[in-house]
Amino acid sequence: MNNSGWMIGLVGGGLGLLGGLVGQYFSIRNTNSLRERAFMIKASVVFWIALVSFLGLMIALPNPYRHLLWIPYGILLPLGVNAVNRMQQKIRREDSQSQV
C-alpha cells in the first residue's frame, strides 16, 4: 500500500500551519503600540478559531457538502484579512495623532 499521498498531504498541511504561525508571530511582533498588539492578538484568535472550525467541518461533513465550505472560506478569508488590515491602519493613525 502506497501512503505517499497521505505523507505529502500531512507535510503540506504542517508547512501551511507553520507558515500561519510564523505570519501570526511577526504580525504581533511588528505592532507599534499596546493597543495595536492587543487587537492583533484578538484578530489572531478569531482567525485560528475560524480555521479550526473550517477544518472540523471539512472532516465532519459528508461529500459533497464539505466541498461547498470552500465557497464561504474563499470569500470570507480575504474579506477578514482586509478588515483586519484596515483596522490596524486606523489604530496606527489614531495612535500617531494622539502622540502629536
Q: What is the pTM of this model?
A: 0.81
Position 37 in a domain: yes
Q: 41-84 pLDDT, tens per residue?
A: 999 999 999 999 999 999 999 998 999 999 999 999 999 999 99
For residues 33 and 94, is the Cβ–Cβ distance under 8 A?
no
State how many domains the chain has: 1
Is residue 99 predicted with pLDDT exceeding 90?
no
Q: Is the peptide bond before 78 cis (omega within 30 degrees of 0)?
A: no
Position 93 in a domain: yes
Domain range for 43:
31-99
Q: 3-12 pLDDT, tens per residue?
A: 888 888 889 8
Task: State how far the alpha carbon of 8 is from the alpha carbons of 4, 14, 35, 58, in Å.
Answer: 6, 10, 40, 18
Position 20 in a domain: no
Position 21 in a domain: no
Amino acid at 17: L
Position 83 in a domain: yes
